[in-house]
Amino acid sequence: MGLLSWKTRTAAILSAAAAAALVGTTPAHAYKLADGEVELKGLAFLDFTQVDTGDNNDTTGAFDDAASGFHVTRGYFEMRYHPEKKTTYRITLDTKGPDQDYFVKYAYAQIKIAGENSHYVKFGLHHTPVVDYYQTDIWGHRYVAKTFVDDIGVYTSSDLGVSVLGDVGEMFNYYVSLMNGEGYDKTPNGAGYAFEGRVEARAAGARVGLHGMSNSKVAGVDTTDRTTYGVYAAYFAAFGNAAAEYVSADDDDQATFDSGSGFSVLVNGNVPAGDKTVAFGRYDSFKAMDVSGADPVNKFIVGIETEVQKGCTVAAAYTSTDPGGTSDTESTIGLYAQIKI
């Protein structure tokens, strides 16, 4: 891309940022019923990006021009029903863009089974143990980028099955699941199942956790059993939080992962400017195949976000992805917005 093109697109990003600063939404409300309470919610991820894939992929810049511009990358409509305070029935519809159909992302019940606020059973199409926790509690910028383990494909964010989760005092929590193993956007297959889990210990702002999955007959293929495991540590303080994780994945028939392994580190730092302003950075490195000549995929993300109004968060970020091998590094400059209703 030429210098003039970059300047023009950068000016457009700044103009879009000014426009986004005027956007606001109304917070979600719960509606009382005779036999419980209903919540209606909406969530959208919007962006304006400039993409540069390098000369090896496109010498004319046509691909970059097509990939750049304004996008709706996710749109959710959600309803939750609480027949009583500790019980949740949830249905969430999801779309990956204005030209995509809606599909069911979540359809589950979560019911308290023991303790005042401690132990629950969850069944249906629901969160897996790792992805939602990491993107909500630790990474925090899903509208900018997926979490590390979701991005590299070792875990899916939602699947059909049953889970037990909860807290053991204030220091320990757990989440254990038996699921199809195919994910929310795949055809269910009962040939094999996935046993997944996460356990975590907390003390004085520090968190240390282990997670893993044993998935038999992936996609119904008798010869493909996948094993994934990982460890992470995070620290929360007045500055924000910092975290690191290591993950390993292996398929018996080497379909996707052959003793693959990698790591991710991230930091979120509170900025004393505006309302809820956070600077963030993340570095991922993952090598799917532990074979000679295989290069890891490396990703670097740096950015800053602020809550413009309640329900509207805007971020400016730069992402660099090195796919390994002879392919050029892909660079993306973008303005991202998360709209909650």
pLDDT tens digit string along 241-294? 999 999 999 987 667 898 999 999 999 999 987 678 999 999 999 999 888 778
Which of 124, 133, 136, 181 is closest to 154 using CA atoms?
181
Band of the pLDDT at 17, cuts 50, 70, 90? very low
Q: Is the pLDDT of residue 59 over 80?
A: no
Give CA separation, 37 vs 111, 118, 245, in Å: 15, 21, 38
Show the domains of the chain with their CATH numbers. 3-340 (2.40.160.10)
Q: Decide if 92 contacts 78 (C-beta within 8 A).
A: yes
Q: What is the pLDDT of residue 74?
A: 95
Distance CA 263, CA 65 (A): 32
Band of the pLDDT at 185, cuts 50, 70, 90? confident
* Stronger pLDDT, 55 or 189, i.e. the higher one: 189
Mean per-residue pLDDT, 66-91: 93
Q: Is the pLDDT of residue 167 over 90?
A: yes
Percentage, residues of the chain above pLDDT 90:
67
The answer to which of 66-70, 314-318, 336-340 has the lowest mean pLDDT is: 66-70
3-state SS class at 310: coil
Q: What is the pLDDT of residue 145?
A: 97
Which range of 111-115, 145-149, 217-221 scores highest in mean pLDDT? It is: 145-149
What tokens were used for 76? Answer: 């959710």
Q: Is the pLDDT of residue 6 over 80?
A: no
The four Cα atoms 119, 112, 103, 214 give a dihedral, to 10 degrees, of 30
Q: Decide if 228 contacts 195 (C-beta within 8 A).
A: no
Reading phi first (left if > 0) and then psi (alpha if -120 to 50, else beta), residue 115 is in: left
